[in-house]
């Protein structure tokens, strides 16, 4: 993650010699990103708190809701990690906080990002099965299986990233905390590299599978559209077409980060790389990481567009609140256009 000072030279004797002599230029990340992250944090906190409250009242009656609830928890945790990044990037926090970010909160941030990625993939798979085999039941379409699968996803990423926390065990100094890689032992840096390649593999696999599911869904939607059009019913196309939102959100938020992450990880671990290029890769990684973080604000859109019980819960409460206002203050006009099923 980002830096607290404008430039830094990092003494990393065992891991990345070229990185050791390169001053990190944080002119952009020092000012712009804390502002951008603050916006994401505030919006993410409001939207996800609202979603938490709504989902708290919705029983887990389908695999879709189970996955959405897990994404919500993951997004909430990611949102809570943002203030630490904002404080250290802007230089407002003490340098010791940056060591905590490198060892703990940045790792949790990445964990939640990949947990959301896999869960979005599972949702796409779930939608795919619903549309392709509406009456058949696979074992994955069973509630208990979905709960077990979601728990395994959490467990997998937590176990995978634990060494990233443990092996960032070099003594932290105001200089060394500026690049997280410099807190790592040789083994720590290797593990960091391996984890990044595993995560790249997971992301591109999920992306390709999603694309495949949606091509098949698109074909089905088109077929049913041409059938229903004759009967003058185009609403089915609109309903099924909504599932494409998941893919669009997924692609816009995560693909740019994964393009920039490979060369950036190389710059952290390879022996030789031009210093200017290293700094450019750092800015590219930070910019695309911000885009990935905006996912915490995008996911509530998925709940709104695709999860009917969620919409009903939010709107029904609005009606109740309005009714209460009218009861306590009869002069207030009730907007009769609002109905619990409005979407
Ligand atoms: N995909 C990942 N999964 C888990 N932890 C990660 C992942 N990528 C990076 N990390 C960990 O997050 C911390 C910050 O990494 P990084 O953003 O690369 O550093 P920097 O802030 O110096 O650019 C490091 O401890 C790193 O090992």
Residue range 133-189, pLDDT digits in tens:
777 677 777 899 999 999 999 999 999 999 999 999 999 988 888 899 999 999 999
- Total domains in the fold of the chain: 1
The ipTM (two decimal places) reads 0.99
Distances (CA, A) of 232 to 218, 222, 236: 20, 15, 11
Query: Which DSSP string do the residues of 230-291 spell out, in sequence order?
Result: HTT--HHHHHHHTTHHHHHHHHHHHHHHHHHHHHHHHHHH-S---HHHHHHHHHHHHHHHHH
Residue 259 placed within a domain: yes
Query: Does the model's pTM come out above 0.90?
Result: no
Q: Which of 24, 97, 105, 106 to mutate to test the pocket of ligand 1 (most atoms within 8 A of CB)?
A: 106
Residue 72 placed within a domain: yes
Residue 342 placed within a domain: no
Residue 285 placed within a domain: yes
The overall average pLDDT reported for the chain is 83
Residue 203 placed within a domain: yes
CA-CA distance, 21 to 23, in Å (whole number)?
Answer: 6
Position 231 scores a pLDDT of 57
Atom 12 of ligand 1, nearest CA residue: 107
Query: Could you tell me where the DSSP H helices lie in 231-243?
Result: 235-241
Question: Is 29 within 8 Å of 89 (Cβ atoms)?
Answer: yes
CA-CA distance, 147 to 60, in Å (whole number)?
Answer: 10
Position 90 scores a pLDDT of 93
Atom 1 of ligand 1, nearest CA residue: 196
CA-CA distance, 306 to 246, in Å (whole number)?
Answer: 9
For 232, left (φ over 0), alpha (ψ -120 to 50), or beta?
left
The tally of CA atoms less than 13 A away on the side-chain side of residue 84 is 21
Distances (CA, A) of 98 to 159, 164, 250: 23, 15, 29
Q: Which CATH number belongs to the domain containing residue 291 in this structure?
A: 1.20.1070.10
Structural domain range at position 192: 27-227+239-316
Residue 194 placed within a domain: yes
Which residues line the pocket of ligand 1, CB cutoff 6 A? 1, 102, 106-107, 110-111, 161, 164, 168, 179-181, 192, 195-196, 199
The tally of CA atoms less than 13 A away on the side-chain side of residue 157 is 22
Q: How many CB atoms lie within 10 A of CB 203?
A: 21
Position 311 scores a pLDDT of 77
Kindly give the parts of the chain with pLDDT less than 70. Answer: 1-20, 136, 228-243, 318, 320-322, 324-343
Question: Is 48 within 8 Å of 72 (Cβ atoms)?
Answer: yes
Residue 10 placed within a domain: no
Shortest-distance atom of ligand 1 to CA 261 = 18
Stated length of the chain: 343
Residue 187 placed within a domain: yes
């Amino acid at each position: 993650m980002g830096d607290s000072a404008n430039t830094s030279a990092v003494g990393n004797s065992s891991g990345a010699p070229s990185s050791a002599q390169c001053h990190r230029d944080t002119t952009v990340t020092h000012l712009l990103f804390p502002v951008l992250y603050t916006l994401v944090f505030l919006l993410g906190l409001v939207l996800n708190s609202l979603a938490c409250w709504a989902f708290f009242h919705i029983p887990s009656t389908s695999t879709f809701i189970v996955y959405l609830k897990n994404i919500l928890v993951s997004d909430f945790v990611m949102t809570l990690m943002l203030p630490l990044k904002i404080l250290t990037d802007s230089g407002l926090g003490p340098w010791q906080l940056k060591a905590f970010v490198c060892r703990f909160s940045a790792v949790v941030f990445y964990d939640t990002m990949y947990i959301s990625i896999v869960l979005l993939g599972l949702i796409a798979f779930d939608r795919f099965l619903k549309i392709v085999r509406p009456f058949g039941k696979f074992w994955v379409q069973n509630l208990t299986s979905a709960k077990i699968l979601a728990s395994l996803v959490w467990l997998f990423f937590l176990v995978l990233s634990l060494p990233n926390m443990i092996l960032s065990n070099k003594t932290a100094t105001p200089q060394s905390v500026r690049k997280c890689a410099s807190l790592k032992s040789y083994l720590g840096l290797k593990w960091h590299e391996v984890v990044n390649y595993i995560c790249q593999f997971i992301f591109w696999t999920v992306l390709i599978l999603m694309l495949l599911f949606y091509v098949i869904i698109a074909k089905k939607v088109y077929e049913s559209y041409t059938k229903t059009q004759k009967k003058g019913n185009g609403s089915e196309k609109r309903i099924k077409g909504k599932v494409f939102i998941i893919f669009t959100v997924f692609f816009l938020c995560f693909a740019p980060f994964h393009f920039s992450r490979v060369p950036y990880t190389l710059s952290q671990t390879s022996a030789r790389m031009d210093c200017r290029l290293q700094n450019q890769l750092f800015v590219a990684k930070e910019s695309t990481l911000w885009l990935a973080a905006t996912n915490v604000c995008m996911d509530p859109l998925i709940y709104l567009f695709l999860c009917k019980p969620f919409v009903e819960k939010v709107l029904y409460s609005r009606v109740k609140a309005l009714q209460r206002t009218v009861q306590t203050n009869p002069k207030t006009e009730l907007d009769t256009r609002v109905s619990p099923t409005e979407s």
